[in-house]
Amino acid sequence: MPGKIERMDDFFNKRAAGYDNHMQENVSNYNEFYPKIAEDIQNTDQVVKILDIGCGTGIELEYVFQKVPKAEITCLDLSTEMLNKLIDKYEDKREQINTVIDSYLSYNFPKNPFDYILSVMSVHHLKYANKLQLYKNIYNALSIGGKYIEGDYIVSPSKEKKLLQKYEEQTANLTDADMGKYHIDIPFSLKTQKELFQKAGFKDFNLIYQKGEAGIYSIKK
């Protein structure tokens, strides 16, 4: 195995304690970015079902609950330590939060139960084929008219190409079964993202926010 890359669960378990500070220091326009995650969520006092994949410590949930205070949120992450931080942070909402320790690559997505599915700064570790399959799973797990909202790093097409070349070098000794299980950053361009969403069956791409290499967009089933 390559010596310089870490398994995803190990990487995030080790960094859970300082994760929020790390994101504040490294995400472009952090104080603008995270509130924007909830911008395309409709205000309501009704129960709304949400799945947050790769949720980490749930930084974005603060803004989600402001829009939908009665939301029932399934928080999926492969890091036990991250989920423990999330639970501590939202202790007052504990009855509305269901935590699941799993990777979204192996998670058995239920069919059509969620009004919204979120992913924030998480899926930029996946190659094209893995990401497409994930988006198909997300599509099937949304209710009709439901939205997938993603906030992540986005790069130029030329930088995407360079990162993919580096990824191939770093993963040369890994099997197909190992893909997506190691912490390697390969964010895509908006062009590639739109292509993936279209192939997965989504419609109505909406670019909500873009500054630097941080972007937020939503798409509809």
Compute, in degrees rounded to 10, the torsion defined by CA atoms 151, 99, 14, 104: -50
Residue 14 pLDDT > 90, yes or no? no
Task: Give the contacts of 156 (CB within 8 A, at least 6 positions apart).
Answer: 189
At 176, is the pLDDT very low, low, confident or very high (cuts 50, 70, 90)?
Answer: low
Q: pLDDT value at position 27?
A: 84
Lowest mean pLDDT among 20-34, 35-49, 64-78: 20-34
Q: Which CATH architecture has domain 8-220?
A: 3-Layer(aba) Sandwich (3.40)
Q: pLDDT value at position 7?
A: 80
CA angle 46, 141, 191 (to 5 degrees): 105
pTM (two decimals): 0.92
Residue 47 pLDDT > 70, yes or no? yes
DSSP state of 194: H
Task: Give the contacts of 102 (CB within 8 A, at least 6 positions apart).
Answer: 76, 77, 78
Which amino acid type is present at position 197?
A: F
* Residue the block writes with tokens 């890091």: 79
Residue 108 pLDDT > 80, yes or no? yes
Q: In what order do the strands lie in the sheet with 72-77?
A: 97-101, 72-77, 49-53, 114-120, 142-153, 214-220, 203-211
At 1, is the pLDDT very low, low, confident or very high (cuts 50, 70, 90)?
Answer: very low
Segment 69-105, tens digit of pLDDT: 999 999 999 999 999 999 999 999 999 999 999 999 9
Determine if residue 65 is left, alpha or beta; phi over 0 gives left, psi from -120 to 50 gives alpha, anything else beta: alpha
**Among 33, 69, 49, 44, which Cα is nearest to 150's?**
33
Mean pLDDT for the stretch of residues 119-131:
94
Which amino acid type is present at position 75?
A: C
Compute, in degrees rounded to 10, the torsion defined by CA atoms 58, 60, 63, 67: -90
* Residue the block writes with tokens 């309501």: 44
Mean pLDDT for the stretch of residues 211-218:
95
The torsion angles phi and psi of 204, rounded to 5 degrees, stand at 60, 55
